[in-house]
A and B are shown apart, each in its own frame.
Chain A
Amino acid sequence: MHLNEMEGKRKILVLCGGKFALGALQKLAYEHYLCGVGIGQGQESVVKTLETAASTSQLPFKHFKDKKSIAELDEWIRSIQPDFIFSISFPFLIPSEVLAYGEKKFLNLHLGPLPAYRGPMPIFEVIRYQEKETAIAVHYINDAFDEGELIFNDFIAINPTDTFGKVATKLSAKAAQVAINLANMLEYATSIPSSAQDENEARYFEFPEEEDTFINWKNMSASEIVSLINACNPWNTGADCLINNSHMKLLSATVSEETHSAIPGTVLSYKDNGKIKIACMDNRCLLVETLSCDWGIVTSEQYVKFLET
């Protein structure tokens, strides 16, 4: 018998996608809500860590390696009989037959504000679109991605220099707090306030493709380019671009207050205080600090030295 059964607490099973959910799992376990952990795909090291931790805590654990293995989800959930199932960056859509386990028993902690940022990679989108804040959105799961009734958006600020990795780290800590707050809410509430998402405000973003991560010198302002660069760091190793017909990825850059009248995308200087200066369409200049090219991840200064040798 688990501690949560002994205490009469709600039993919460967590379906996650990797290390992002570790903080939430720890908090839920500490408060004796956690009754099982499932991971979809996930890095081998994270899967092993979770499996060991679950085994030590005598919690059921299951790894869903691929979409096909989701066929085992229904039986696994029914064997554990949780009161609620939390999805925290779980990569697979939960099939209707699994959702039939119970109405309003499946809740998703979505990593962006809803309904404006539906889709698998909202962190990329909110940074790319220069939002000043993002959120963990808590909603019931239905048979479409991110469309179930919304309970709340819990917001955090995005700083202009935040990269995808930085925002993901902040959201991971936030998700831990939201998960425990939500568990407490489910434990003590007589009813959970929720409402249908406003479809007029809804947007769905597919997983970004190369055209989304590519810098378009003709159409993008310098600050939009910096945001795209931050949105692609580190998961895409930077924003894709062509500089003098060479493909590379920019990992960090800032906007210079200097103006110019060159064609957007033109390299104005390779040695501007150790940075590569590129003309942008709003007459501002982009100062590239770090980039990824065939030689590896290098500073602009190192890149120029390679060019010269």
Chain B
Amino acid sequence: MQTIGILLPRSTYYETIGFDLFNGLKNNLNETGNDSIRVVTENIGFGSEKQQCYRSAEKLLLEENASIVIAYIGQRGAQLLRPLFLAMNRLLIVVDAGANLPHEADYCPNILYHSFHNSLGAWLSSKMAIADGKKTAGMITGYYDGGYLHTLATTEGFIQNGGEIKFNVATGFKSDTFSMDDLIPHLQNYPGSALLTLFSGDFVQWYFKELIRIFGVGNTAVYLSPFGMEEQMLADAPFPGETTKGVVTWSRQLDSEKNRHFIQTIETNTNKTPTLFSLMGWEAGLLVDKIFRLQSELGIKEITPELLNAIEFESPRGTVKLYPKINTTYAPMYNATVISTENNTCQLRIDGTIESIPAHLDELTSIPLNDVETAWYNSYVCI
């Protein structure tokens, strides 16, 4: 019997993150006939405690003999675990929000990033602003979200395509210090500028409230990254106008049989609305299934670059493949607009598919890092 492990995080604003990841994984393993696989879980808190993270992974490998470990961690967490997985020659699948730039981490044959590419989405969202005719922009973020290098993807996506960043606004960490008043003089000086925005979780709701309070509905051109357009949070956010758009990794609105089936399965089996994290767990199950099948076909027990290169599967968000240069998976991404529900909250409208993701990744991973690195150890949205 095969054993796999999963390191589960916690988050104060995505309270069900661990539950969603685990249930996504288990439901998919049952779907693909892998219900005999033993899944062992370990909790890693916010992912910032190095000892907890390392010991949990070590326990899964040494005591539980897990052949694959899935972990919702960032690149720095993965770097911490790198020597352990190299020494044991086992595979670590990092289900990754992608808030770091993908090339911040060195290639490692024992670490596969299954990324939801928030940085790439931010980069594409900035290019969308250029395509909409925006010449000037400001980056809007906060104390927490601004600590990851998707900030560089956001600004470079705009600058490298001919735009100018004229201002930056960073907010405080708590709801009572969250304000967009600092934006007023900037938009007076540079009217019509694109607001290239990096927020996640509750911050999105607070942000929209502030934009409506100060500027009214539909008077700001907001461009969001995938985690800024996460539908669970948008469902409780006030509608800021259809001038709010961006790029998403996945949406409930994607019109495909695989997506409908995924949503229905999670809703039926867990009595809960599927989230991005349910999908991460679901796709981790598809990855595990694919890897075990390839090992069986090739008659090997090891994880080899050739094996990882052969990964390709259909998921609710399209075909998932490997970008081998940095061992990261990718799938199509989608242009989307925030529209109103009957209750004047937010939902998404999918406007089109972004193909050629490898070409966009080529561009993104060409951004020089110049020794900058993220300040945060914890997994993205795990605060």
State the A residues within 8 Å of B (CB): 138, 151-157, 174, 177-178, 181-182, 184-185, 187-194
- Say yes or no: B106 contacts A177, CB within 8 Å: yes
B166, CB-defined interface residue at 8 Å: no
Chain B: residues with Cβ within 8 Å of the partner, total of: 18
- Say yes or no: A181 contacts B50, CB within 8 Å: no
- Say yes or no: A190 contacts B55, CB within 8 Å: yes
**Interface residues in B123-144 (C-beta closer than 8 Å to A):** none
Chain A residues in 8 Å Cβ range of B54: 184-185, 188-189
Closest 4 CB pairs of A and B: A152-B86, A188-B54, A193-B87, A152-B87
- Say yes or no: A151 contacts B83, CB within 8 Å: yes
B58, CB-defined interface residue at 8 Å: yes
Contact for A152 among B62, B80, B83, B107, CB less than 8 A: B83
**Closest residue of chain A to B49, judged by CB?**
A188
Contact with A along B63-89 (1 / 0, CB 8 A): 000000000000000011011101110
Known: A189-B58, A190-B55, A191-B62. A155 touches B109 (CB 8 A): yes
- Say yes or no: B86 contacts A154, CB within 8 Å: yes
Q: Show 14 A/B contacts (Cβ-Cβ < 8 Å), sorted by A.
A: A138-B83, A152-B87, A154-B108, A156-B106, A157-B107, A177-B79, A182-B83, A184-B50, A184-B54, A185-B84, A188-B55, A188-B80, A192-B87, A193-B88
B51, CB-defined interface residue at 8 Å: yes
- Say yes or no: A181 contacts B82, CB within 8 Å: yes
B369 to chain A, nearest CB (A): 12
State the B residues within 8 Å of A (CB): 50-51, 54-55, 58, 62, 79-80, 82-84, 86-88, 106-109
The complex places the Cα of A307 from the Cα of B248 at a distance, in Å, of: 66
Total A-B residue pairs with C-beta atoms closer than 8 Å? 51
The complex places the Cα of A187 from the Cα of B54 at a distance, in Å, of: 10
**Closest residue of chain B to A193, judged by CB?**
B87
The complex places the Cα of A188 from the Cα of B88 at a distance, in Å, of: 16
- Say yes or no: A184 contacts B87, CB within 8 Å: no
**Closest residue of chain A to B55, judged by CB?**
A188
B361 to chain A, nearest CB (A): 18
Chain B residues in 8 Å Cβ range of A153: 86
The complex places the Cα of A192 from the Cα of B87 at a distance, in Å, of: 8
The complex places the Cα of A168 from the Cα of B83 at a distance, in Å, of: 21
The complex places the Cα of A157 from the Cα of B325 at a distance, in Å, of: 11
Chain B residues in 8 Å Cβ range of A185: 54, 83-84
Chain B residues in 8 Å Cβ range of A191: 62
B136 to chain A, nearest CB (A): 37
B86, B88, B109: most-surrounded residue (chain A CB, <10 A) = B86
**Closest residue of chain B to A194, judged by CB?**
B87
- In the complex, besides A185-B84, A188-B50, 13 extra interface pairs with C-beta distance below 8 angstroms are A138-B83, A151-B87, A152-B86, A154-B83, A157-B107, A177-B79, A184-B80, A187-B51, A188-B55, A190-B62, A191-B62, A193-B88, A194-B87
The complex places the Cα of A177 from the Cα of B106 at a distance, in Å, of: 10
Chain A residues in 8 Å Cβ range of B88: 193
The complex places the Cα of A174 from the Cα of B84 at a distance, in Å, of: 17
- Say yes or no: B87 contacts A181, CB within 8 Å: no
The complex places the Cα of A156 from the Cα of B106 at a distance, in Å, of: 9
**Closest residue of chain A to B59, judged by CB?**
A190
The complex places the Cα of A152 from the Cα of B79 at a distance, in Å, of: 14
Chain B residues in 8 Å Cβ range of A174: 106
The complex places the Cα of A187 from the Cα of B84 at a distance, in Å, of: 12
**Closest residue of chain B to A183, judged by CB?**
B83
